[in-house]
Structure 1
Amino acid sequence: MTVTATKFTPKVMLSAPRRSPGVPNASGTLALYTVSTYSFDDHRKTFQIRVLRIQSGLSEVLVHDAKSSEPVWLSEDEFLHLKSWDDGTTSIMVRRALSPNDPGYEVASIKAPISNVKVKKLPNGTIAFACSALATPDGHLYNSETAKKPYSSAKVYTSLFVRHWDTWTTKNRNSIFFGVLEQHDGKYSLRNGALTNALAGTDLSSPVEPFGGTGDFDIGPAGLVFVAKNPELDPAIYTKTDLYFIPLETFTESKVPSPQLIETPGLEGYSNSPVFSHCGRKVAFTRMRSKQYESDKPRLLLIPDITDLSQSVQEFYATKDGEGGWDARPESIIWSHDDSKLYVTAERWARTLLWQLPSDPAKTAAANLPTPLKTPDGSVTSFHLLHRNSQVLFVTTTSLVDNSCYSLVNPTATPPSFSILSSNSRQGKTLGLSRDSVSSITFPGAGGEYDVHALVVTPSNFDRSKKYPLCMLIHGGPQGAWLDAWSTRWNPAVFAEQGYVVVCPNPTGSTGYGMALQNGIRGQWGGRPYEDLVCCLEYVLKEMEFVDGERAVALGASYGGYMINWIQGHPLGRRFKALVCHDGVFSTLNQWCSEELFFPIHDFEGTIYDNREAYEKWDPAKFVNEWVTPQLIIHSELDYRLPITEGLAPFNILQAKKIPSKLLMFPDENHWVLKPENSLVWHREVLGWINKYAGVGDEQELADQVDGLRVE
């Protein structure tokens, strides 16, 4: 049975199965992945662990259980996964991929929630197991279900953070736990049935909250490497995270050695993505230079021998001026099987691409910069070498029309090539989408001094002879970008299928176009980016004859929400029929209500008490006398990055001024609207609002919209 969309609606998007990246086994014959699906009929989510047979492209279900997660290979056929229970405990399970009906068996029961599993086969035949979990101040696993409940809800703080992202901080911290899996009579068991806290007795916490995961640590035959915040610096004011090494030979050590700090002179910012080489001695990772800039350029670094830290860390594409010869932001890293090459991802012109380079920094220079490998349309989200004797990569991508694609990428072919193994939506076809709807434009930015790039998405029934209202989407960050990648929160195709030409500009501040454009936003929040958006609108109206400029709307979230509020008070606001602000900044003077204070300190060039003028210069609240355009405000109670008062204040002003306005509030969401039922309401309200003012149907028509699905 195939479910096909007759029209790409919010419900179609939110109901579409979501696949995780695929991970091949050692021989490259099978790939594990997960699929989650939400049903608006049953109002619940289902979850499957599946296996893809790489040669045929066929797949089958291995586990159908919403409480199972995180499958990882143990051998050619066996895989491990986690199963959570209502009392907060976690079972470590083992099953066989070639036996779909195999019930599996429990390796161990851990008396707390665990996640972010990694395994590594050791020279003695055992398997090192590592994961993350919350730990109490005395280093023990923390289980909220069994922990003693306090009689008072009071919280007392004497240092930052007091809260972060969507939670108030407690004394419990993320930690890395490890153990050894060994086989007896053909079955695995966890030695001693317990895990060891690698960070017990230290002030260190890893993975780094709130988004740290498996990319924050790695295990190898020499031990464990991980990144952690510098405990001597205030985490709300400084971004510095250091890389540490814990030497372990058997992963059964009764006394865990103290973490050893990896020195990187001249680089003091975020460290990330540490990865052991196959030989187990080298480690590649990234690090930023500034300790107060969360979006600084990551530098690609190499530890030549993790067992001899007297050797200096080496930087790839290093230059004498310290800027680096490769003007890119490397992120994920893997090693080739012979350790002679590195494969890394980095953004370039609205795509996340895959790059190949020598693993020896001495062989890299500005005169010999890497070129991206040929991959399917869209952006790379994950990649693995197919098998031990191959240079072919198993790559997972998404795009603006396809929510999951698995392919094989051959960097040695002439010319380099790829072949698609499996597309979750048949390259968008089952969702009613087509690659023909995606294009891009480039136009002169502020003052004509540089070019600005924008993605364009048109309706699937697009006719150049007709006129379509414009929908301009403004991205957040501000150091971010609209990518040719899938999203269920801000998906341009959802807007396009309502009957808009959707333009997604990447103005000053955007990533993927070089550090000069990205860094140009510092001290310019309402300056160059605003002018770039004016240039974008003028270019669209002049060059795209099928766009109806009299029916234009604009929407933005986070920094994009700031820009919506800024636009309201400036001439550009009068050129849109309606505006939508999701979790935006109302007043820059309130930026110190946020949790990560290093963000305003960097972007506004100092603290509010040392440089108040910089905050006042770009304050949207200064221009509320000019507000006239109908506006929808969306904000959530759990958004601690931009507290809900930043949504209530502009709504109150709009209402007091009798400007058509509406407030949509979610008490149980953070900076993002993640729950499917809430997301469906979000889309209905947003689309209903802009459609009303752009003359595209009406709110009731949208609310009554059919599912847009047919079963074949």
Structure 2
Amino acid sequence: MKKWIAALPLALPLACGWASEPFQVQHLTQFNSLHSVALSADGAEAIYALKAVSDDGRRSDLFRISTADPSQFEQLTNHSGTEHSVSYSADGAGIYFLSDRSGSSQLWYLSLSGGEARQISDLPLPIDDYKLDPTGAHLVMQIRIDPACVDLACGAQMAEQAKARLAQGKHYTELMVRHWDTWGDGLRNHLFAARFEQGGLSEPVDLTAGLDTEAPPKPFSGMEEVAFSADGKRVVFTAKAPGADQAWQTNYDLWQVPVTGGEPVNLTADNPAWDAHPVFSADGRYLAWLAMTIPGYEADRFRIMLKDLHTSEVKEVAPGWDRSPHHLAFGASSQVLYVTAQDLGQVGIFELDTRFGDVRSLVKEGSHALQATAGGKILYTRNDLSNPTDLYVMDDNGRNARQLTQINAEHMARIDLGEFEQFSFKGWNNETVHGYWIKPVGYETGKQYPVAFLVHGGPQGSFGNRWHGRWNAQLWAGAGFGVVMIDFHGSTGYGQAFTHSISKDWGGKPLEDLQKGLAAVGEQQPWLDVRNACAAGGSYGGYMMNWIAGNWNEGFKCLVNHAGLFDMRSFYMVTEELWFPEYEFGGPYWEQTDRYERFNPVNHIDKWQTPMLVLHGAKDYRVPLEQGLAAFTVLKRNNIPAELVVWEEENHWILNPDNLEQWYEHVLGWMARWTEKVQH
């Protein structure tokens, strides 16, 4: 393997000779990012896709790296198209990947011994993602198609007819009419299987034709919800049970179908809650998956379920482990499972014994994501509050962990970040609550600094020890703020009872935790001027800004409300995933009116007085734009200082790099305007 040297090096010399500067959003938007990682069967090497900023925009290429000696690496592709979703072939001689270099996202193959990539598929519709079977005979492809069609040619014809249709009205007979940031267009994610033959693919077979539902589910699920049996003859996938109640239930099930096609069989019909992420053991003996037990509750703890395919016995693995895992994978032995799970502000990787339920932590500090296990190795990514995501490897016993990439070494060498530390205090009911503080860049002992008090969304979420691509706490530190983040009651990673405690109590325990936490960290860290603070939050964090405005109206110099819920009555009527408010408040609005109104920010607008910046994406269908407009109207009509920023093409998140820079320009400028300068 040759070493490749170019403008995006693996690492940089320790002495670069550059002057560093405080971290700014312009740095963040130029960072490179990893995706689409694969590990060879012997664990000796890995492939990863690197998305980078170049003179002609963002591009994504594939790289190959030795897991034993990361100085040995090479670039495999160099094309203006986007390369992603990489997999090793069954014989290890080459790799498959998706690329749009032919004008449509199709499957390509590249020999690792040299030569040019060649196109494998030429389907009339694009392939969104795929998965190979362990034997190398078949693959399953995720393709979006009109469910009335029986083949891809029909799907392509229907797509062309839709483009040519002059009338633009959309006709709906069921919810959801829109989801996340897209209006329903009548299409569905379907799974198509094909066989490799003569350098191409056989005619694809629709494995999900009999299900009037999404597979994999929208908007965030992918091929991690699809698994081949060890012999490659069966496919198990996650899909919501068909029915008119898609918008208000979470009954995702596991379905099994032969790779040659047929009627899908529901494997988990006895569980009315969420089943997900199926994986088979390499010996074909076991099927493992994740399962919730409370219908309609998306923040329930995922349990690890294990089915013996010889005896049909089903059991829960490690039932006493009070964490909610994801990224599930078998080890070389079917007696070992590897999972990632949030744990006390971190996201760790754990090893579980499938026989006895023993749980052992392999890596903890920071935020980790399991990528692959093979050849006695575990490939994973890691980041934390002061380091962006890079690729790591360790032995499957948790030893010899080492970093493989430093894809942003050049960027990191040029910036200064703030020192951070986790803290704890006694919150609601005198229970322990955790949080993080970050010192401002250029911190000097003896001075006090204004506070950026960041409130996470979810509400079942966490602002833990992670590098965030949007709400990056170090950007406030770079702007001269001391940063405080609190994982209030309802946050994830502290046990299911702690997470569950926020349901039906949105404005109760969390507000008390935030109040006590800010006071406590001010005593613990006197350099934080907690009387000179602005608070900011998005989604539920934005709800909390509206709630604080009426229930803690002397706590902050200013507020920043991104995509915040303003009126719980109107929110219920226009959001898309109704199962969320129905569980959080115990039912539909008209059945639980008192609960919705008890913690409804609109009922306290007579006490609003704090200056507020309101930000919203017009394509936000989770918390629609009208919620932000209503808050801004109240503020201006009552002569409270306020500003509004709207992005017509953004959804619940701000994803466009130029828009993200504008977002921080407004947010940091607003907070600087209302807080005083550093105090001696």
TM-score strictly above 0.5: yes
Distance 1:21 1:205 in 2: 23
Distance 2:113 2:23 in 1: 36
Distance 1:356 1:233 in 2: 40
| CA apart distance, 1:615 | 0.6
The residue that corresponds to 1:262 in the other structure is 267
Distance 1:205 1:85 in 2: 27
Distance 1:98 1:452 in 2: 54
The residue that corresponds to 1:422 in the other structure is 405
The residue that corresponds to 1:707 in the other structure is none
Aligned AA for 1:232? G
- Does the CA-based 8 Å contact 1:269-1:290 persist in structure 2? yes
Distance 2:441 2:564 in 1: 31
One of 213, 220, 241 as aligned partner of 1:211: 220
Aligned AA for 1:178? A
The residue that corresponds to 2:243 in the other structure is 232
| Match status 1:242 vs 2:253 | yes
One of 56, 63, 72 as aligned partner of 2:77: 63
The residue that corresponds to 1:407 in the other structure is 392
The residue that corresponds to 2:594 in the other structure is 613
One of 108, 128, 133 as aligned partner of 1:120: 133
| Match status 1:83 vs 2:68 | no
Q: State the secondary structure of the residue aligned to 1:407.
A: strand
The residue that corresponds to 1:526 in the other structure is 507
Aligned AA for 1:355? F
The residue that corresponds to 1:378 in the other structure is 366
Runs of 4 or more, structure 1, over 6 Å off, are none
Alignment of 1:459-478 (within 5 A): 459-478=440-459
Alignment of 1:499-510 (within 5 A): 499-510=480-491
| Match status 1:584 vs 2:593 | no
Over 3 Å counting, the alpha-carbon distance change for 1:46 and 1:373 in structure 2 is: same
The residue that corresponds to 2:211 in the other structure is 202
Distance 1:230 1:663 in 2: 41
Distance 1:171 1:427 in 2: 46
| Match status 1:515 vs 2:496 | yes
Q: State the secondary structure of the residue aligned to 1:422.
A: coil
Distance 1:21 1:107 in 2: 19
Q: State the secondary structure of the residue aligned to 2:369.
A: strand
Unmatched tracts of structure 2, length 5 or more: 1-6
Aligned AA for 1:446? W
Distance 1:545 1:21 in 2: 44
Over 3 Å counting, the alpha-carbon distance change for 1:582 and 1:86 in structure 2 is: farther
| Match status 1:47 vs 2:66 | no
One of 339, 343, 347 as aligned partner of 2:338: 343
- Does the CA-based 8 Å contact 2:145-2:189 persist in structure 1? yes
Distance 1:213 1:696 in 2: 47
| CA apart distance, 1:618 | 0.4
One of 91, 95, 111 as aligned partner of 2:124: 111
Over 3 Å counting, the alpha-carbon distance change for 1:76 and 1:461 in structure 2 is: farther
Distance 1:118 1:455 in 2: 39
Residues 325-370 of structure 1: CA deviation (Å, up to 9, x unaligned): 211101111111122211111110111111111123xx22xxxx41
| CA apart distance, 1:379 | 1.0
Q: State the secondary structure of the residue aligned to 1:567.
A: helix
Residues 351-401 of structure 1: CA deviation (Å, up to 9, x unaligned): 1111111123xx22xxxx4131135x41112332241xx2x3122112122
| Match status 1:280 vs 2:284 | yes
Distance 1:540 1:480 in 2: 21
- Does the CA-based 8 Å contact 1:341-1:357 persist in structure 2? yes
Distance 1:538 1:18 in 2: 37
Aligned AA for 1:82? L
- Does the CA-based 8 Å contact 1:208-1:228 persist in structure 2? yes
The residue that corresponds to 1:163 in the other structure is 178
The residue that corresponds to 2:189 in the other structure is 174
Distance 1:678 1:588 in 2: 28
Over 3 Å counting, the alpha-carbon distance change for 1:533 and 1:43 in structure 2 is: farther
- Does the CA-based 8 Å contact 1:301-1:315 persist in structure 2? yes
The residue that corresponds to 1:316 in the other structure is 317
Distance 1:61 1:633 in 2: 44
Aligned AA for 2:327? S
The residue that corresponds to 1:704 in the other structure is none
| CA apart distance, 1:145 | 6.3
Aligned AA for 1:258? E
| CA apart distance, 1:314 | 1.9
Residues 667-691 of structure 1: CA deviation (Å, up to 9, x unaligned): 0011011111111111111111111
Q: How many residues align?
A: 652
- Does the CA-based 8 Å contact 1:509-1:518 persist in structure 2? yes
Unmatched tracts of structure 1, length 5 or more: 318-323, 698-712
- Does the CA-based 8 Å contact 2:613-2:670 persist in structure 1? yes
| CA apart distance, 1:486 | 1.7
| CA apart distance, 1:44 | 2.3
Over 3 Å counting, the alpha-carbon distance change for 1:83 and 1:383 in structure 2 is: closer
One of 131, 138, 162 as aligned partner of 2:141: 131
Distance 2:159 2:213 in 1: 25
The residue that corresponds to 1:710 in the other structure is none
Over 3 Å counting, the alpha-carbon distance change for 1:96 and 1:485 in structure 2 is: farther
One of 544, 554, 557 as aligned partner of 1:574: 554
Q: State the secondary structure of the residue aligned to 1:372.
A: strand
Residues 575-627 of structure 1: CA deviation (Å, up to 9, x unaligned): 21111000000111122210111111111122111110001100111111111
Distance 2:633 2:411 in 1: 42
- Does the CA-based 8 Å contact 2:416-2:478 persist in structure 1? no
Distance 1:677 1:429 in 2: 21
Q: State the secondary structure of the residue aligned to 1:488.
A: coil
Aligned AA for 1:129? L
Tell me the TM-score normalized by structure 1: 0.88
Over 3 Å counting, the alpha-carbon distance change for 1:412 and 1:69 in structure 2 is: closer
Distance 1:643 1:352 in 2: 31
Residues 47-96 of structure 1: CA deviation (Å, up to 9, x unaligned): 22111222321332212333332221114341111122686x33321113
Q: State the secondary structure of the residue aligned to 2:326.
A: coil
Aligned AA for 1:371? R
- Does the CA-based 8 Å contact 2:210-2:264 persist in structure 1? no
Residues 521-542 of structure 1: CA deviation (Å, up to 9, x unaligned): 1111111100100001111222
| Match status 1:479 vs 2:460 | yes
Over 3 Å counting, the alpha-carbon distance change for 1:678 and 1:521 in structure 2 is: same
Over 3 Å counting, the alpha-carbon distance change for 1:90 and 1:146 in structure 2 is: farther
Distance 1:46 1:452 in 2: 42
| CA apart distance, 1:26 | 1.4
Aligned AA for 1:381? A
Alignment of 1:635-646 (within 5 A): 635-646=616-627
Over 3 Å counting, the alpha-carbon distance change for 1:587 and 1:670 in structure 2 is: same
Over 3 Å counting, the alpha-carbon distance change for 1:411 and 1:83 in structure 2 is: closer
The two structures, once aligned, show a CA RMSD in angstroms of: 2.2
| CA apart distance, 1:288 | 0.7
- Does the CA-based 8 Å contact 1:585-1:642 persist in structure 2? yes
The residue that corresponds to 2:39 in the other structure is 24
Over 3 Å counting, the alpha-carbon distance change for 1:139 and 1:533 in structure 2 is: farther
Identity %: 28
| CA apart distance, 1:464 | 3.2
- Does the CA-based 8 Å contact 2:174-2:244 persist in structure 1? no
| Match status 1:300 vs 2:304 | yes
| Match status 1:444 vs 2:458 | no
Q: State the secondary structure of the residue aligned to 2:559.
A: strand
Aligned AA for 2:312? Q
Tell me the TM-score normalized by structure 2: 0.92
Q: State the secondary structure of the residue aligned to 1:569.
A: helix
Distance 1:204 1:471 in 2: 43
Q: State the secondary structure of the residue aligned to 2:295.
A: coil
Distance 2:578 2:93 in 1: 48
Aligned AA for 2:360? T
- Does the CA-based 8 Å contact 1:459-1:496 persist in structure 2? yes
| CA apart distance, 1:504 | 1.1
- Does the CA-based 8 Å contact 2:35-2:84 persist in structure 1? no
Aligned AA for 2:422? S
